[in-house]
Amino acid sequence: MGRVSGSMISPEELAGAVGAAADGSAARPVVLDVRWRLAGPPGREDHEARRVPGAVFVDLDTELSAGPAAPGPGGRHPLPRPAALQEVLRRAGIRDDDPAGLVVAYDDGDGSVAARAWWLLRWAGLDPARVRVLDGGFAAWRAARLPLAGSGPGAGAPEPLPAPPGDVVVRPGAMPVLDADGAAALARDGVLLDARAAARYRGETEPVDPRAGHVPGARNTPAAANAGPDGRWYSAAELAERFRAAGAGPGVATGAYCGSGVNACALVLALEQAGLTTPEAPAALYPGSWSEWSADPARPAATGDRPWAARE
């Protein structure tokens, strides 16, 4: 299985960047721990027990969104207010006067949650060359037997001194977004990708949102299929083959959605990794996603394997 570079970074590469910062030969990377699970336990507990040395915990529900919300306008994970996001990023130590300084996000899975941090950093105006997702997440870091900080068994590596507060200015709008009408139009006139598991796309189950099914015309490309069993991402060629089969390609207007606007960020990232979009012209994100769409009874829902199958 091939591996990707681009907006991904391997555990060994991140460890090298941390080491270079320690000896003063390079800028210190800012590492964001965004571990999160829909049904818990809280990611902060995992962070306190074991983490990449120097990592700062950032909470998906309260810091990478405007707070957990019920399905409806904006969805379950609405985009954070720019001022609130700026405060979070400054607390993490992200600076505008360090244009080469890496910012790396990791989760405890296949990068689908970390991709939300990647997307928000890009949306906030950071240079695409600075922003990375740790390939394989925290599991890959541990598998590589790299140092662990924290209070749990096997941890205890020394922590670097806390980074000084950052001065980054959030300038929202650098990544394209869709509202519900825009998602409907893209599903009709371009390619709208659904990042959820196939059973949710088909409407066989819906554990969270008001109705089952998918946006009529959307095509299912689960975010979990970006990576292999070890959580490491497939090569650009392998990713491109999957997305081309769904109709995506250079010059094709493409967007993505999921349940609440989180995992769809991994499709935006994967399309860029595959070379089907570029940092200058990325795929669009529908932040409200199915949690917003399904809460509006005026919006139709399709079911089954086909994009336009059986509609309410």
In the chain, the DSSP E strands lie at: 8-9, 30-33, 56-57, 103-106, 131-134, 191-194, 219-220, 254-257, 284-285
Catalytic residue from among 258, 264, 274, 301 = 258
Tokens in use for 282?
């990325």
Q: What are phi and psi of 63, to 5 degrees?
A: -120, -30
Q: What are phi and psi of 218, to 5 degrees?
A: -70, 150
C-alpha–C-alpha distance, residues 225 and 243, integer Å: 11
Compute, in degrees rounded to 10, the torsion defined by CA atoms 288, 280, 85, 114. Answer: 70
Beta strand pairing call for 56-57 and 8-9: unpaired
C-alpha–C-alpha distance, residues 202 and 204, integer Å: 6
Of 242, 267, 246, residue with least CA distance to 190: 246
Contacts of 275 (CB under 8 A, 6+ apart): 236, 240, 250
258 is catalytic: yes
Quick check: 254 and 277 in contact, CB under 8 A? yes
Return the active site residues. Answer: 258
